[in-house]
Structure 1
Amino acid sequence: MSTPTPRATSAATGSSARPVFVRILKWGGLLALAIAVIGGVTGFLVDSERGLVSALVGTAMAILFTGLTATSILVANRFSGTDFFTAIFFAVVMGAWIVKFAIFLVLVFLLRDQPWINPVVMFLCIIAGVLGSLIVDVVVVATSRMSYASDVTLPGE
């Protein structure tokens, strides 16, 4: 009797969720561009250069936080097929969440009293980025076509 050949794991072939997260990152980039342009123009009209800089800083923070989530999941998915995938997955994703929270706190405390920041403009751009990224996540996941059983190899394949 012949021994079965080991099938390629999803780590080697690429997870079926990878295209979804790549689309989320692309749409998130377009969202960030729109927030930077709209927030920058509005911030400039409200508070000249100070408002423009605040909008760009708020947009950069939104990009950073949105990108870290999707990137951490893409990195964690590379360990699929290993014995400790679930533990590694949650460690990577929760680690990224803790890093995001720490970066947010550091940035808020560093930037809150800066004379070159308009806190209202920066706050509104951050909120627009967070809400926009949630909308992007929902739309991309809802419109993606994924099978119920992913990365399955049928007998005879």
Structure 2
Amino acid sequence: MSRPDETPAAKPVRKVVSSEAATALFRRALRDVLLFLAAVTVVGVVLGAIFAGTRGVWGALLGAAVALVFSGTTVWSMWRSSHSSPAAMLGIVAGSWLAKMVVLVVALVALQGQDFYSKPVFLAVVLVGVLGSVALDTINYQRARIPYVEPQ
């Protein structure tokens, strides 16, 4: 119960996450992931060529493509669904995850038994690309300035 000499403080009003702040977060995260994967691709191609020749180049290119599908679609699906209801966002993100798994299985089955690419280079580029992208997403999320509530 408030005392008569107190004035009520302005109460914050809950509303949907600030669209500008969320858009800035996802735009920055997607840009950082794309730049990081471009750098991983270049380094992977150079190191793959040095250690495994043409097979290493193909392994690096395929690994970078898989890492891009995994990392890029996650950020993109979250960005596109950030203004939706939580249930819709869950459906979109889970659906994109399922689609990525199907694409990965199809790609691995198609590449099984092929000898035109280096499997160790492929695996190294995928691991570095995906783990680095997760680290970048985490850093971008921690640095984001998205308010929980906004005053009227």
Q: Deviations over 1:14-58 (max 9, x none)?
A: 353121111111000111111111111110011111101110110
CA distance in 2, matches of 1:15, 1:120: 42
Question: Counterpart of 2:90?
Answer: 90
Picking from 56, 65, 69, the partner of 2:70 is 65
Bigger relative contact order (CA 8 A; separation at least 6): 2
Aligned to 1:82: none
1:55 and 2:60 matched: yes
The CA deviation at 1:105 is: 1.0
- 2:90 alignment partner AA: F
Structure 2 residue runs without a partner (length 5+): 1-14
1:44 is aligned to 2:49: yes
Aligned partner of 1:20 in structure 2 is 25
Aligned twin of 2:127: 127
Q: Does structure 2 conserve the Cα–Cα contact (< 8 Å) formed by 1:15 and 1:77?
A: no
Distance 2:59 2:151 in 1: 51
Is contact 2:21-2:146 (8 Å) kept? yes
- Does the aligned pair in 1 maintain the 2:40–2:129 contact within 8 Å? yes
Q: Identity over the aligned pairs, expressed in percent? A: 28
> What RMSD, in angstroms, separates the aligned Cα atoms of the two structures?
1.8
**Residue identity in the other structure for 1:40:** V
Q: Which residue number corresponds to residue 82 of structure 2?
A: 77
What do the CA deviations read for 1:40-89 (whole angstroms, capped 9, x no partner)?
Answer: 1110011111101110110011011111101111121243xxxxx12211
Larger Rg over CA atoms: 2
Partner residue of 1:34?
A: 39
TM-score (normalised: structure 2): 0.83
Give the corresponding residue for 2:9. none
One-letter amino acid of the counterpart of residue 47, structure 1: A
Q: Give the aligned residue type for 1:75.
A: R
Structure 1: 5+ residue stretches without partners: 1-8, 80-84
* Residues 25, 67 of structure 1: 8 Å contact kept: yes
After TM superposition, which residue ranges in structure 1, 4 or more long, deviate above 6 angstroms?
none
